[in-house]
Amino acid sequence: MELVDAPHSKCGTFGFVGSSPTAPTALMGTYKRIPLKLVRGKGCWLWDDKGDKYLDAVAGIATCSLGHSNKKIERALIKQLRKLQHVSNLYQIQEQEELAKCIVSNSCGDKVFFCNSGAEANEAAIKLARKHGHINRGIDRPLILSAYSSFHGRTLATISATGQPKYHKGFEPLVEGFKFFEYNNFESFYQLYQKVEASQPRVAAVLIEPIQGEGGIIPGNQNFFKKIRDLCTKDNVLLIFDEVQTGMGRTGNLWGYQENNIEPDVFTLAKGLGGGHAIGALIVQKHADLFSPGEHASTFGGNPFACKAALTVFNEINRPKSLRNIINRGEQLRTGLLEISRLFPNHFDGVRGLGLMQGLLIKKEIDLCASEIINSALKEKLLLASAGEKVIRMVPALTINKYETNQLINRLKDSIEKYI
């Protein structure tokens, strides 16, 4: 089954109805930016250049784990800048070793490769999968199976692995070697798997999100994931989890794979790992540790500055109190969103998500976009994002408190009441 385009929609491509900049800019037009100039932040709050204060439920798109201008990150990075900022991976880097040890000591992984972003981490995973296919399954032209509605990044290989045609337009020909199945549908997966494996081994890996993020905040089904895990184990196919958005405590567990009660062979991290600083990671179990020196690299990946930021985030999030707060605030947010859905039954269709990764679902059949509510929320000094055209996404800082969560719910409700 091939990817097909969604029908034309009035909804904004990036989750809001934006406008062109009001003044000339030297920036390329890769974003349709909201005309809001943010100049300062503290915790879950942001201020614009006019002095107006906004509650931030976007957090740099699930990135600012400890909120804005966190004092512990500030102190750690000032100290690091006075010590060492960058030397390259030609040498041993203490902060990198410490961060890798933290990750493997608290996960199913055994080895770590550091890069700068989620797309780079997934790009590394794709290369790793192809090498596995060649050397461990004897495949000349390896395939990677991915899900419809997935999102894995903006590089040419990662958009090719992304199951959404809107990201492909204008960039054809795509990288070959990807096939797609329906998320949470094992029959769809197994039919595809049998078809491509009919006469000889073809599949090197399955690349999948434990919770689909950009595809609509869709949690994975445990039974679905267990069946895929069993099949991958049986046939020596790598199971790769894209944890760019779910990793580092976002769901209430440290890793999203814990929500599905299985362990992947490989998983990727970025976003919340650095607390707003650029870092990504590829984590592998021993049997998937396949790269040799010179086969993959990154000039800036794992530099002391980024690793110090990530170490600070890790030490703060990997505490029972912090993870408990994520669970409690996630339940509070979910309860509030369910109440909003009940208050407006003609417009909303429930809630999806885990922890502090929640989505309010707009009914598919009505003429209302997430972008319209996001714009209305600006008037209530609330910043929101979307996950597709019909899901209002909330991914606030993992340090959000009870009062701020109530504010989020109440401001969202006021935004909806005033718009519809």
Per-residue pLDDT of 146-198, as tens digits, reads: 999 999 999 999 999 999 999 999 999 999 999 999 999 999 999 999 999 99
Q: Where in the chain is the domain with CATH 3.40.640.10?
A: 71-317
**CATH label, 71-317, candidates 3.40.190.10, 3.40.640.10, 3.40.50.150, 3.30.40.230:** 3.40.640.10
Average pLDDT of the chain, as a whole number: 95
CATH class name, domain 321-419: alpha beta
Q: Determine what percent of the chain is predicted with pLDDT higher than 70.
A: 95
**Residue 24 pLDDT level (bands cut at 50, 70, 90):** confident
Q: Please answer whether residues 375 and 303 qualify as being in contact, where contact means their C-beta atoms are separated by less than 8 angstroms.
A: no
Q: Where in the chain is the domain with CATH 3.90.1150.10?
A: 321-419
CA 242 → CA 203, 207, 348, 357, distances in Å?
18, 7, 29, 15
Q: Please answer whether residues 366 and 347 qualify as being in contact, where contact means their C-beta atoms are separated by less than 8 angstroms.
A: yes
Residues 6+ apart with CB under 8 A from 27: none
For the stretch 33-46, pLDDT in tens is: 999 999 999 999 99
**Residue 19 pLDDT level (bands cut at 50, 70, 90):** very low
The pTM for the full model equals 0.95
**Residue 409 pLDDT level (bands cut at 50, 70, 90):** very high
For the segment 334-346, the average pLDDT, to the nearest whole number, is 98
Amino acid at 84: L
> Which stretch of 12-16, 208-212, 260-264, 292-296 has the lowest confidence by average pLDDT?
12-16
